[in-house]
């Protein structure tokens, strides 16, 4: 009984992880505007990487 319940729980966990992790469409065009500052002083020509 305990072994069956453990197997069933593992299968349900594995199924929920594989189904819930889905990546939507990637790519496309986007524009992001902002000001890079350090303690209120603007930093010109700063490079910002978005992950």
How far, in whole angstroms, is CA 11 from its chain's centroid?
Answer: 24
Residue ranges of domains in the chain: 2-42
Asked if 43 contacts 37 with a C-beta cutoff of 8 angstroms, the reply is yes
Tokens 């189904």: give the residue: 19
Tokens 């009984």: give the residue: 1
> Percent of the chain at pLDDT above 70?
94
Q: What confidence category does residue 44 fall into, taking pLDDT thresholds of 50, 70 and 90?
A: very high
The predicted model scores a pTM of 0.38
What are the residues facing 37 on neighbouring strands?
42
Q: What is the spatial distance between Cα 35 and Cα 8, in angstroms, rounded to a whole number? A: 52
Question: How large is the average pLDDT for residues 8-23?
Answer: 81
- With 80 as the cut, is the pLDDT of residue 4 above it? yes
């Amino acid at each position: 009984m305990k072994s069956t319940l453990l197997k069933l729980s593992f299968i349900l966990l594995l199924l929920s992880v594989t189904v819930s992790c889905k990546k939507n469409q990637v790519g496309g065009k986007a524009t992001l505007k902002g000001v890079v500052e350090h303690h209120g002083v603007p930093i010109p020509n700063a490079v910002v990487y978005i992950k």
